[in-house]
Structure 1
Amino acid sequence: MQQVLALIEQKKQEFAQLPLFDFMQDKSINPRQRLAWAPCAAHFIMNFGELNKYFLRVEPTNDPIQTLINKHTYEDDHHWLWFLEDLKNLEFDKSLQFSDALKFLWSEETKNARWLNYQLYRYTSQATPIQKIIVIEITEATGNIMLSIAAEIGKEIKAITQKQCRYFADFHLDVETGHMTGSSGIDRLLQDIQLSESAQQEAFELVENLFTVFTQFTNSLLVYAKTHKIEQLLKAG
């Protein structure tokens, strides 16, 4: 299992080099423009709570790893509320006809957010607790990269507008450690787990496949941010 966790850390470091994160750290660009991708991520962010409630959580359980997963899901299933607050504070809360909102959420522009959700559901719907740990570690790793940079932008926006972000902020980052392991005694449960050769190969494939989907999603956010100027977003609001 330690080899699988090492691969996740390697892929995390590669993920951190994606061009979206350079864009988000470019202070020559308006800070709100650097978060202009937020609407494009809505499908993923709003579904994350249900991933935790309905796919990762299993109750009742006698499995010690699943018990820890359940605890984690209760900490992670409500962050979408903060995202909605931030959309208002960033003035991205556009007024749309219900049909137009649905068209956007299921548009070509947002297909990678939907595909990411579908893959997460696929890999967790019949997963073992160990497989769920792997999925959680990947989502935590990618989220930590994103939120670490977004929190700095949130500080810039507060300094300019006096409006406090909660999703794109240290407030959110502080409850996202970037790992499920290293806490709640889960390291002690995982360190002695020996995966069979076939199980280890499946785990490696899971890591590779999910990081590929997260990368596609993240690259699509950059395209959206570059093609949707905040002046247009504010005018349309």
Structure 2
Amino acid sequence: MKEVLAFIEHKKQEFAQLPIFEFLTDKSIDPRQKLAFAPCITPFVMNIWEVNKYFFREEPTNDPIQALINVHSYEDDHHFLWYYEDMEKLGFNTSMTYLDALKFIWGPANEKARQVCYKLAAYAYQADPILKLAVIESNEATGNVFLSITAEIAREIQQITGENYRYFGEYHLAVETGHAMGTPDVESLIENIEISEEMRERACQLVEQVFAAFTEMLNEWMAYVKANKLDQVPIAA
């Protein structure tokens, strides 16, 4: 499995070069405005916990790798609660009709965000635990890149508002280490898993697909920022 992890690290470094990360690290932009795309994250945030519950998790199990995945799935399935808090504090919980909310969440601006979770579910459905683990590790790697940057933004916003932001900030980053959570020394454990050459190739194919899906989603968020004037987005002062 060590080769699969090395490939994930390679894809992670590529992922970190996406245009949205250049935008998020631009010191000339008000940190509050950098999170103007936060509503676009909704389809992913609100679906990933169900992907954990219904597709990654498999109970009962006698497979030690599946057991590791199960532990991770419980650790990772409640982050939407932190998202609720941050959206309120950032001023996004404004009045919107039911239909407007549906049109936004299931509209073209969030197409790739919806597809990410559909694809993760498809990759994990009845898959060998090794392949599930490759998908999870890829997912966690993208989250680590994203949150490493938003945590700095959250610190800057906190200096302005006095509020603590759990989803976008250090609190979330602390549990998004880039690896499956909930098991001590998990990176070493995963590295030492022996897999066949065929399984390695299949796992790396999935890694490629996961990173491609997340890349499309983040490019979609960047397109949303470009298409919507930042000073018109409701941000709490």
TM-score past 0.5 threshold: yes
Distance in 1 (CA, whole Å) between partners of 2:102 and 2:60 is 36
Q: Tell me the residue number matched to 1:136.
A: 136
Q: Tell me the residue number matched to 1:88.
A: 88
Q: Tell me the residue number matched to 1:146.
A: 146
Residue 193 and residue 164 in structure 1: after superposition, are their counterparts in 2 closer, same or farther (change >3 A)? closer
- Percent identical across equivalent pairs? 53
Distance in 2 (CA, whole Å) between partners of 1:81 and 1:95 is 20
Match runs of 1:1-237 below 5 Å: 1-180=1-180, 183-187=183-187, 189-234=189-234
Q: Please tell me the residue identity of whatever aligns with 1:20.
A: I
Q: Is the 8 A contact 2:72 2:181 kept in 1?
A: no
Which runs of 4 or more aligned residues in structure 1 lie more than 6 Å from their structure 2 counterparts after TM superposition?
Answer: none
1:194 Cα deviation from its structure 2 partner: 3.6
| Gap regions ≥5 residues in structure 2 | none
1:23 Cα deviation from its structure 2 partner: 0.4
| Gap regions ≥5 residues in structure 1 | none
1:160 Cα deviation from its structure 2 partner: 0.6
1:8 Cα deviation from its structure 2 partner: 0.4
Distance in 1 (CA, whole Å) between partners of 2:215 and 2:139 is 12
Q: Please tell me the residue identity of whatever aligns with 1:158.
A: Q
189-198 or 151-160, which moves further after superposition? 189-198
Distance in 2 (CA, whole Å) between partners of 1:189 and 1:142 is 20
Residue 166 and residue 182 in structure 1: after superposition, are their counterparts in 2 closer, same or farther (change >3 A)? closer
1:193 Cα deviation from its structure 2 partner: 3.8
Residue 204 and residue 144 in structure 1: after superposition, are their counterparts in 2 closer, same or farther (change >3 A)? same
1:224 Cα deviation from its structure 2 partner: 1.1
May I ask how many residue pairs the two structures share in their alignment?
235
